[in-house]
Structure 1
Amino acid sequence: MNKTLKNQFTRKIYLHKKFDSFPVEVGASNRSNFLYPIHDNIGLNISNENIYYGELTGLYWIWKNENINKEELVGFCHFNKCLDVKFSKAYNLLINRKKYDFLVADKTYITPHPRKDELDAIVKILKKNYPEYYITWLKIYRKDGSSYACNNAQLFITTGKWFNKYCLFLFDVLKQMRQIIGNRTGSPYDIRYCAFMGERLLTVFIITNNLKYKEYHIRYANKTINIGRKIARILHINKNSSFYIKLQKKYGAKSSYKR
């Protein structure tokens, strides 16, 4: 997996079964630069929706095309970051010992979402069709979509049982959101509203279903970022401080989305 993580292209990596791993290149419908044979525009897919869903088009492809059974282990990580846990450890916790249902990234602060209509849409959908999830959403997120309790970044490892239930919930909500909001214009980052809301829904799903979960730090392909984040944790540097923000701008993860 480490070798794959070094390649700086817009794609995500999918982990399947006990020690198997392979990359799925996302947004393939709108791309021509490929390194790997598996693209998210084959089989059942929403690859052409990548500008709105981001890495979630890869997650959708896995869900629809891999037929993962409930006793299998499945994980999802990005080209430049993953959970800092060995896969053998994850397998032991989730399958052998059945101690947890999900392994996820540490809870952290997620910034306010700039589009009120997009937040209103997600709240409306949950309130109407998923009332239990709606109650959880209100407990976790402020009216501006920010929170200090979000397991964000769409990094997780779980069993097929919960993976399939999570995807059924996630993509139903986001499909309804696309119908309400429609198309957007703007920068590739700003119009990824399904990705932004999907990032928030993972924690909502886990909490609503009373699932047992364990959090892990995020491990980045860039070793400088790993060292910097570790020092920040040891020194308890406030993430909202001007000092932390300056360090983040200089040494933080840089997106390759526009490549």
Structure 2
Amino acid sequence: MKQTSERSGKGVTIGIAMHKPYPVPQGDIYLPIHVGAAMHPDALADTQGDDTGDNISKLNPYFCELTALYWLWKNDDSDYKGLVHYRRYFTTRNFFKRYGRDRFNRIIQGPELERILKDTSVVLPKKRHYVIETIYSHYAHTMYAEHMELTRLVLQDMAPEYLDQWDTLMNRRSAHIFNMMIMDRDTFDAYCAWVFPILFEITKRLPPSQYDTFHARYPGRISEKLLNVWIMRNGIQFKELPTTFTEPINWWKKGTSFLKAKFFKKRYTSSF
């Protein structure tokens, strides 16, 4: 049955943002979270919903996996909290598992992660490198540049001390993406307390509902950039882990779409 009260306890809790039935890794550190549960309660009837306690479940069409992030912030007090996706996870460092055929066997488990967390309080995914694009130009070519421009304006109004880091990131060619992270509770909660008011203000000024379903998810994409900015500004020390996708990726479609966006101004219309 779905849980309806705050989760309490020590250790590590990594939320798995999911919206439909799908195999999930076993292990005490993982907690499947049904995102958008307020609108589709029957999709995952026996999974912890993001609609209990203090929540923003109804914003899921725009905030994507961030409704699970918000739920963890407000309703879970584990020593370490994190977020992954139902098809994308942090990967073990074990060479044979990492490159084995069983994609679920590649996913990091509790004992290994706990050893890593003895040396760091924050784990992020390895950076995505765009090579021929900056972070700004890639977003402007594939989505809408106005999202990035408005974000800077909101930072200028709400957190001007972060503008230098924002401008630096916009001119870089790599960043941590996916909204994946594992952090000690204090760091996790501090990040959420910073990023959500900014996102709420951005969506107040530029309602996502004016876009089609794909582009309406822009707040979730903007938050990927804001995580980098927050990490940079606050001098957060972290370790990186590679990620794994539980299904084959169509690299041809992904690559050609990337090039079409850059050279022919063809915005993305769906996820890959």
Q: 2:126 aligns with which of 94, 106, 109?
A: 106
The alignment covers a number of residue pairs equal to 221
> Which residue of 1 is the match for residue 104 of structure 2?
none
Establish whether residue 81 from structure 1 lines up as the match of residue 101 from structure 2.
Answer: no
Q: How does 1:1-259 map to 2 (within 5 A)?
A: 9=20, 19-31=28-40, 32-68=42-78, 72-85=79-92, 86=108, 87-94=110-117, 96=118, 99-108=119-128, 109=130, 111-113=138-140, 114-142=143-171, 147-222=172-247, 224-225=248-249
1:173: Cα distance to partner?
A: 0.8
Percent identical pairs in the alignment equals 23
Q: Distance in 1 between matches of 2:65 and 2:157?
A: 27
Superposed displacement of residue 213, structure 1: 1.4
Q: 1:233 — aligned with what?
A: none
**Contact 2:77/2:185 (8 A) holds in 1:** no
Q: Scaled by the length of structure 2, what TM-score is found?
A: 0.70
Q: Which amino acid aligns with 2:145?
A: K
Q: Per-residue deviation at 1:59?
A: 0.7
Q: Deviations over 1:119-170 (max 9, x none)?
A: 222101112221232210100114xxxx522100011111112101111111
Q: In 2, are the aligned partners of 1:80 and 1:220 still within 8 Å (CA)?
A: yes
Contact 1:150 1:203 in 2 (8 A): yes
1:51-75 Cα distance to aligned partner (Å, 9 max, x none): 110110111011111134xxx1112
In structure 2, what is the Cα distance between the partners aligned to 1:10 and 1:203? 31
Runs ≥4 in structure 1, deviation > 4 angstroms? 239-246
Structure 1 unmatched ranges of 5 or more:
230-238, 247-253
Equivalent position amino acid for 2:238 in 1: Y
Change (3 A) 1:22 1:77: same
| Cα shift at 1:14 | 11
Q: Is the 8 A contact 2:21 2:44 kept in 1?
A: no
- Note closer, same or farther for the CA distance 1:40–1:244 as it changes in structure 2 (3 Å cut): closer
Are residues 255 and 39 of structure 1, via their aligned partners in 2, closer, same or farther at CA, if it must alter by over 3 Å? farther
Letter in 1 for 2:147: E
Structure 1 contact 14–22 (Cα < 8 Å) conserved: no
Report if aligned partners of 1:90, 1:103 keep a CA contact under 8 Å in 2. no
**Structure 2: gaps spanning 5 or more residues:** 1-14, 93-107, 261-269
Are the aligned partners of 1:14 and 1:23 in contact in 2 as well (CA < 8 Å)? Answer: no
- Matched with 2:6 is none
Alpha carbons of structure 1 residues 158 and 185: separation in structure 2 relative to 1, 3 Å:
same
Distance, in Å, in 2 between the alignment partners of 1:243 and 1:30 is 32
Report if aligned partners of 1:14, 1:77 keep a CA contact under 8 Å in 2.
Answer: no
State the distance in 2 between where 1:19 and 1:8 align. Answer: 20
